[in-house]
Amino acid sequence: MNDKCFDIGTIQAFLDGELAADVLEGVSHHVASCDDCAVFLAEAEEESAIAFSALDQEFNTLVPTQRLWTKINDSIQKEEKTFWQTVAAFFSNQTTVAFAGMLIVFSIFTAMINLESSDNAVDVTKNIPSDQSLAVPTVDLGIPVLPIKQDSPLAQNNKKTDIEKSALIASNKTDYRIIKTTFVKKEISPPRIVNSPKAKGQVSGPAPSENVPGEDSYIRTIATLKKTVDNQKDEVLKSSARFIFERDLAVSDDAIKKMKAQVRTNPNDEASKQILRASYQNKIDLLSSVADKTELMASLK
Amino acid sequence: MKPQMNIVEPRRKSEIFLILYSLVFLFLFANAFAQTGKVSRNENKIPAEKSILVDAKINISMCVSEGKVKVNGWERNEIRAFVSEGSRVGFEVRKKNEQTKTPLWVEVVGFETANNKNSGAEECLSGKEIELDVPRNSTVDIKGSASETTINSVSRARVKYISGDIFLNNIAQGIEASTFEGDVTVENSSGAMNLTTTTGNIVAFNVNPKEIGDIFKSRTSSGAITLQQLEYGQTEANSNSGSIRFTGAVQNGGQYNFGTLNGSITLSIPQNSSGKLDATFGYGAFDSELPLKNVVKPNTSKTQSLTAMLGSGDSTLNLKTFSGAIRIKNSNRR
The full DSSP string for chain A is --TTPPPHHHHHHHHHT-S-HHHHHHHHHHHHH-HHHHHHHHHHHHHHHHHHHHTHHHHHSPPPPHHHHHHHHHHHHHSPPPHHHHHHHHHTSHHHHHHHHHHHHHHHHHHHHHHHHHHHS-BGGGGS-TT---PPPPPTT--------TTSHHHHTTTS-HHHHHHHHHH-SSS----BHHHHHHTTS-HHHHH-HHHHHHTSSPPPP-SPTTHHHHHHHHHHHHHHHHHHHHHHS-HHHHHHHHHHHHHHHHHHHHHHHHHHH-TT-HHHHHHHHHHHHHHHHHHHHHHHHHHHHHHH-
Residue of B275 and A238 predicted with greater confidence: B275
Give residue B271's pLDDT band: very low, low, confident or very high (50, 70, 90). Answer: very high
Highest mean pLDDT among A197-211, A285-299, B276-290: B276-290
Least confident range from A216-230, A252-266, B111-125, B192-206: namely B111-125
In percent, the amount of chain A with pLDDT more than 70 equals 52
Interchain contact, B261 vs A297, CB within 8 Å: no
Across B106-115, average pLDDT: 83
Position A49 confidence tier, pLDDT thresholds 50, 70, 90: confident
**DSSP letter string, B254-309:** -EEEEEESSS-EEEEE-TT--EEEEEEEETSEEEESS--EEEE--SS-SSEEEEEE
Cβ contact B143–A296 (<8 Å): yes
Dihedrals phi, psi of A57, to nearest 5 degrees = -60, -40
How confident is residue A92, by pLDDT bands cut at 50, 70 and 90?
low
Mean pLDDT along residues B222-228: 94
Question: Distance from CA of residue B180 to its chain's centroid?
Answer: 10
- For the segment A3-25, the average pLDDT, to the nearest whole number, is 80
Whether pLDDT at B3 is above 80: no
Asked if pLDDT for residue B264 goes beyond 90, the answer is yes
Would you call B303 and A293 a contact, using CB atoms and an 8 Å cutoff? Answer: no
Which residues in chain A have their CB less than 8 angstroms from residue B302's CB?
Answer: 262, 272
Q: pLDDT tens digits for B114-138?
A: 765 555 557 889 899 999 999 999 9
DSSP code, position A136:
P
Nearest to A244 among B199, B262, B305 (CB): B199
Q: What is the pLDDT of residue A128?
A: 37
The fraction of chain B above a pLDDT of 90, given in percent, is 66
Chain A nearest-CA distance from B322, in A, is 7
| Pairing mode, strands B202-208 and B184-190 | parallel
Asked if B282 has any chain A CB less than 8 Å from its own CB, the reply is yes
Nearest C-alpha in A relative to B320: A275
Q: Do A271 and B298 touch (CB under 8 A)?
A: yes
Residues of B in contact with A271 (CB under 8 A): 280, 282, 298, 301, 303-305
Asked if B124 lies within 8 A of A300 by C-beta distance, the reply is yes
Residue B280 has its nearest CB partner, among A252, A271, A292, at A271
Instruction: Report the gap between the CA of A210 and the closest CA in chain B (Å).
Output: 17
Are B226 and B245 spatial neighbours (Cβ–Cβ below 8 Å)?
Answer: yes
pLDDT tens-digit series, residues A105-137: 877 877 777 665 544 443 333 443 333 333 333
In this predicted structure, what is the pLDDT of residue B105? 94
- Report the residue of chain B nearest A289, measured CA to CA: B198
**Are A271 and B322 within 8 A, CB to CB?**
no
Tell which residue, B302, B241, B298, B309, has the closest CA to residue A129: B302
In this prediction, residue A54 carries a pLDDT of: 64
Q: Which of B180, B241, B303 sits opposite A251 (nearest CB)?
A: B241
Within 8 A of A285 by CB-CB distance, chain B residues are 219, 221, 238, 240
Kindly report, residue by residue over B228-245, the tens digit of the pLDDT: 999 999 999 999 989 999
B144: Cβ contacts below 8 Å, ≥ 6 apart: A300, B62, B63, B64, B65, B124, B161, B162
Q: What is the residue-averaged pLDDT of chain A? A: 66
Q: What are phi and psi of A159, to 5 degrees?
A: -80, -10
Window 204-243 of B: residues touching A by CB (8 A cutoff) are 219, 221-222, 238, 240-241
pLDDT at B7 over 80: no
The number of angstroms, rounded, from the C-alpha of A137 to the middle of its chain's C-alpha atoms is 38
For the segment A238-278, what is each residue's pLDDT rounded down to a tens digit? 888 888 888 888 988 988 988 888 888 888 888 888 889 88
The mean of the pLDDT values for chain B is 87
CA distance B268 to chain A (A): 23
- The C-alpha of A200 sits at a distance from chain B's nearest C-alpha, in angstroms, of 36
Mean pLDDT of A190-212: 44
- Measure CB to CB from residue A300 to each of B63, B196, B304 and give the nearest one: B63
Q: What is the pLDDT of residues A271-291, one digit of tens each?
A: 888 889 889 998 998 898 888
Question: Between chains, do B162 and A293 touch, taking CB under 8 Å as contact?
Answer: yes
Q: Cβ A244–B221 below 8 Å, yes or no? A: yes
Of A252, A272, A293, the CB nearest to B240: A252
Contact A275 B63 (CB under 8 A): no
Q: Is the per-residue pLDDT at B203 higher than 90?
A: yes
Query: What percentage of chain A reaches a pLDDT higher than 90?
Result: 2
pLDDT bracket for residue B172 (50, 70, 90): very high
- Report pLDDT digits (tens) over B48-97: 899 999 999 999 999 999 999 999 999 999 999 999 988 889 999 999 98
Q: Is B305 on the interface with A (CB under 8 A)?
A: yes
Render pLDDT for B174-185 as a digit per residue (tens, 0 to 9): 999 999 989 999
Listed range (A201-210, B86-95, B98-107) with the worst mean pLDDT: A201-210
Q: Which of B124, B133, B162 is nearest to B70 (CA)?
A: B133
Higher pLDDT: A64 or A184? It is A64
Out of A39-48, B29-38, B111-120, B315-324, least confident range: B29-38
Q: Please answer yes or no on whether A269 and B144 come within 8 Å at the CB atom.
A: no
* Interval A37-63 mean pLDDT: 70
CB-CB neighbors (< 8 A) of A241 in chain B: 180-181, 198-199
Average pLDDT (B216-226) is 94
Q: How far is A126 from chain B (nearest CA, A)?
A: 23
Residue B159's pLDDT band, with cuts at 50, 70 and 90, is very high
